[in-house]
């Protein structure tokens, strides 16, 4: 799926007056907007100098904008859209231009930015042991990019469980009881927490406190998966809360991933070659 849909692109063009090679054409026609402003906004938000970058030198304002939008660089796209929103807000005070559609269009653009910001954080730790993990990863990424975090909750819970099991197994920590019953995600988190603290994986009290809090986070995540996701016939968590839960759990997984990576580097440096 494209990062920005066809209809969303048309919304961007309408709000920002992108047509005929220009941006904010409704102001450009009155000599109140020009390519120098486009240059400054792109340089500030994306670090791209369209006057000196060979990929942009011969392009119109519109084509410069389109090139960044089509780059699939989440950070640059979100930053650029925020930059044009800020300019729109600023210029509106001096050069009023407000169509009936503008308020709705502006809201759509803001939602695109929020979605891209969430997508920026989708950096799932790698899982080796499980089949079809790529399909699960794609499903998570698709629903985040599609601004449907409600559909991510149970999938991300599955992914998190797989990752914690694999990480526990890596450190020879049990992932099931004596009867073979697999531990819940919060129990796995507790075992990892104890292992990290006992083996001095933390360099600060802040990190140690964060690791201790993982147990509660995963326990509540487990409750949401069982009671507020599509894992069962539930009343589904609202979009705002679902988005917050997804962001929080992604950050927690990335924190565990970074702890593991840092420890792997330390162990590699300690090996006698």
Taking each helix axis from N to C end, the angle separating 185-198 and 205-227, rounded to the nearest 10 degrees, works out to: 170
Q: Tens-of-pLDDT digits for all 273 residues of the chain? A: 467 889 999 999 999 999 999 999 999 999 999 999 999 999 999 999 999 999 999 999 999 999 999 987 888 999 999 999 999 999 988 877 777 778 899 999 998 998 888 766 667 888 887 877 888 988 888 887 777 889 999 999 999 999 999 999 999 999 999 999 999 999 999 999 999 999 988 888 888 888 889 999 999 999 999 999 999 999 999 988 998 999 899 889 989 998 888 876 544 344 343
256 with 125: CB under 8 angstroms? yes
> In whole angstroms, what is the distance from residue 90 CA to residue 92 CA?
6
Q: Domain segments of the chain: what residues?
A: 6-120, 133-270
Place of tokens 């300019």: 87
> In whole angstroms, what is the distance from residue 79 CA to residue 84 CA?
9
Q: For the whole model, what pTM was predicted?
A: 0.61
Query: What would you measure as the largest C-alpha separation in the chain, in angstroms?
Result: 77
- The angle formed by the CA atoms of residues 17, 20 and 25, to the nearest 5 degrees, is 30
144 with 152: CB under 8 angstroms? yes
DSSP H or E stretch at residue 84 = helix 74-94
> In whole angstroms, what is the distance from residue 95 CA to residue 206 CA?
49
**Joined tokens for residue 99:** 């169509």
Rg, Å, the chain Cα set: 23
């Amino acid at each position: 799926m494209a990062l920005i849909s066809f209809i969303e692109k048309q919304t961007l063009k309408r709000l920002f007056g992108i047509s005929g090679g220009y941006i904010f054409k409704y102001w450009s026609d009155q000599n109140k907007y020009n390519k120098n402003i486009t240059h400054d906004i792109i340089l500030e938000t994306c670090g791209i100098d369209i006057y000196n970058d060979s990929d942009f030198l011969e392009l119109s304002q519109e084509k410069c904008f389109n090139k960044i939008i089509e780059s699939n660089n989440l950070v640059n796209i979100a930053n650029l859209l925020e930059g044009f929103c800020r300019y729109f807000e600023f210029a509106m005070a001096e050069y009023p231009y407000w169509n009936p559609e503008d308020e709705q269009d502006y809201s759509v653009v803001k939602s695109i930015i929020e979605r891209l910001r969430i997508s920026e954080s989708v950096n799932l730790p790698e899982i080796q042991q499980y089949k079809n993990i790529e399909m699960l990863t794609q499903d998570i990424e698709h629903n985040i990019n599609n601004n449907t975090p409600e559909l991510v909750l149970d999938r991300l819970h599955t992914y998190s469980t797989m990752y914690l099991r694999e990480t526990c197994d890596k450190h020879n920590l049990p992932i099931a009881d004596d009867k073979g019953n697999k531990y819940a995600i919060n129990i796995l988190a507790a075992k990892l927490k104890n292992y990290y603290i006992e083996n001095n994986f933390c360099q600060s009290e802040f990190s140690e406190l964060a690791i201790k809090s993982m147990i509660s986070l995963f326990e509540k995540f487990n409750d949401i998966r069982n009671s507020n996701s599509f894992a069962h016939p539930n009343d589904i968590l609202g979009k705002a809360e679902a988005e917050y839960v997804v962001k929080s759990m992604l950050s927690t997984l990335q924190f565990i991933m970074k702890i593991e990576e840092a420890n792997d580097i330390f162990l590699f440096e300690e090996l006698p070659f």
